Structure 1
Amino acid sequence: MSYRNENDNRKLFVGNLPRNINYEELREIFGQVGDVKYAKVINRENVKVPYGFVIMSNENEAKKARDTLDGYELDGRNINVEISGQKGSSQRKVRKFQQDKQLSDRVMFVCNLPFTLSQEDLVDLFSDFECENAKLVIRDGQSKGFGFIRFPTAELLQEAIKMMNNHKIGDRYIKVRKAFKTDDLKVEKKLPQENKGMNNQENQELEQEQEQQQEQEQQQN
């Protein structure tokens, strides 16, 4: 069955995309939120502003992707995300404010990486910015082409974003931006102990932030 015939409650319309985006990057961005089954970008010459479609694995993940990524800044544009067939919500400004509060101060999301790039290569790539550790996302033994980098300060993260966005590796131009705050713990917990660069106090602070966010999400639901 074609994904384009899937139930609309799993299908997302993504508007106001930057001109240079491709379906792989779109898939990687939505992959931060959940399991992406299908992604497509419409970027023909006669299309004034590119747009696309993403199908998540279920309705709950589609709603989570909409609430998390609607208003997300992508190469200078704030994308809009809607469940297919539904009009824009009056709650978009509220979601945008909530999303802004969830961006990490020290963790970077990097995508469009060559699939041959290893986790060690990823650390080396950002070594000039004193990165503490990295997490290359690997599934079924294969790199998914994106990952996360943790920096010791917010200033170094901002400098890395400024210097490394659109940096060319082989035949690819990587994309970098702030990760979501929930990815702080994702990077920390999935790395070997000897690669961790945080002390117990910082771990406790991150755990408290995670617990507070979970409580807020439960209250909203």
Structure 2
Amino acid sequence: MSYKNDNDNCKLFVGNLPRNLNYEELRELFSQVGDVKFAKVLNRENIKIPYGFVIMSSENDAKRARDTLDGYELDGRIINVEISTNKNKQGQNQRRVRKYQQDKQLSDRVMFVCNLPFTLTEDDLIDLFADFKCENAKLVFKDGQSKGFGFIRFPTEELLQEAITMMNNHKIGERYIKVRKAFKDDDLKVEKKLVQQNQTQGGQENQENQEQNSVFQKQNEENQN
């Protein structure tokens, strides 16, 4: 199985993979983020730590996959994802397996969740995590279609951690969802949605108040006449 792509910026190196992972499972994981053209896993016995390659359909999809899945926990391993290049010397790929990026801080209130059914709505997601008092949920969409992953905000870190413990590998339909703490940068995705919701609700309330005041004013004018 092979695939040639002249654009190296679409090709991802994926390190620290579980020993029993196959290319179809790797492809399915990255399909949650973007359009996958090719996936390959190298897990021969002479390879100490399995690794693989994924080619996305565009540079944007590749960058999104790197930013979303780098540091993701997969079957007990923290995988690392980075843009691959042809400048690497032979055998260097195995040495590129590294620990979770220390410069990326984890959120204390926001969860990253993936492998969701594409038909699941944000309201469904909120209902799913209602026992943990989740405040808000945001799915990622492309061309009006859910990409099968998103973010959930909780009121405290304790509830976030409890949700991770209880809901990782929870089955929805035929899928087992994966959850972990989001990166600090991802907090803005949910915060922005909350602000938009509050503005919408505030606008609706102001409109209702204006309509009520208009009715009261009209009634007063009619009484005076």
Classify the TM-score, shorter chain. Answer: 0.5 to 0.7
How far the C-alpha of 1:8 sits from its partner, in A, is 2.6
| Structure 1 residues 67 and 124: CA distance shift in structure 2, 3 A | closer
From 128, 131, 155, the counterpart of 1:128:
131
| Structure 1 residues 127 and 39: CA distance shift in structure 2, 3 A | farther
Gaps of 5+ in 1: 197-221
1:30-45 mapped onto 2 (5 Å cutoff): 31=33, 38=37, 40-42=39-41
- TM-score, structure 2 length as denominator? 0.66
Aligned pair 1:55/2:55, yes or no?
yes
Mapped partners of 1:166, 1:11: distance in 2: 28
Which residue is equivalent to 2:77?
77
Whether the 8 Å contact between 1:109 and 1:148 is mirrored in structure 2 is yes
Mapped partners of 1:113, 1:84: distance in 2: 31
Which residue is equivalent to 1:184?
187
Structure 1 range deviating more: 138-147 or 155-164: 138-147
Whether the 8 Å contact between 1:15 and 1:81 is mirrored in structure 2 is yes
Whether the 8 Å contact between 2:72 and 2:78 is mirrored in structure 1 is yes
Mapped partners of 1:67, 1:46: distance in 2: 30
Whether the 8 Å contact between 2:30 and 2:65 is mirrored in structure 1 is no
Whether the 8 Å contact between 1:68 and 1:95 is mirrored in structure 2 is no
Mapped partners of 1:125, 1:72: distance in 2: 21
What value does the CA root-mean-square deviation take over the aligned residues? 3.8
Whether the 8 Å contact between 1:73 and 1:79 is mirrored in structure 2 is yes
Percent of aligned pairs with the same residue? 65
Which residue is equivalent to 1:12?
12
Which residue is equivalent to 1:97?
102
Which residue is equivalent to 2:206?
none
How far the C-alpha of 1:74 sits from its partner, in A, is 3.3
| Structure 1 residues 9 and 143: CA distance shift in structure 2, 3 A | closer
Whichever of the two has the greater Rg, that structure is 2
From 111, 118, 123, the counterpart of 2:121:
118
| Structure 1 residues 167 and 94: CA distance shift in structure 2, 3 A | closer
| Structure 1 residues 71 and 193: CA distance shift in structure 2, 3 A | closer
Mapped partners of 2:44, 2:94: distance in 1: 29
- TM-score, structure 1 length as denominator? 0.67
Deviation string, structure 1 residues 5-52 (Cα, Å, up to 9, x no partner): 233343122122234644222343xx4xxx665452538898976543
Q: How many residues align?
A: 187
Mapped partners of 2:186, 2:166: distance in 1: 22
Which residue is equivalent to 2:209?
none
Deviation string, structure 1 residues 143-168 (Cα, Å, up to 9, x no partner): 11111100111111111111000000
Whether the 8 Å contact between 1:133 and 1:195 is mirrored in structure 2 is no
Which residue is equivalent to 2:159?
156
SS at match of 1:108: strand
Aligned pair 1:144/2:144, yes or no?
no
Whether the 8 Å contact between 1:26 and 1:39 is mirrored in structure 2 is no
The AA in structure 2 aligned to 1:96 is Q
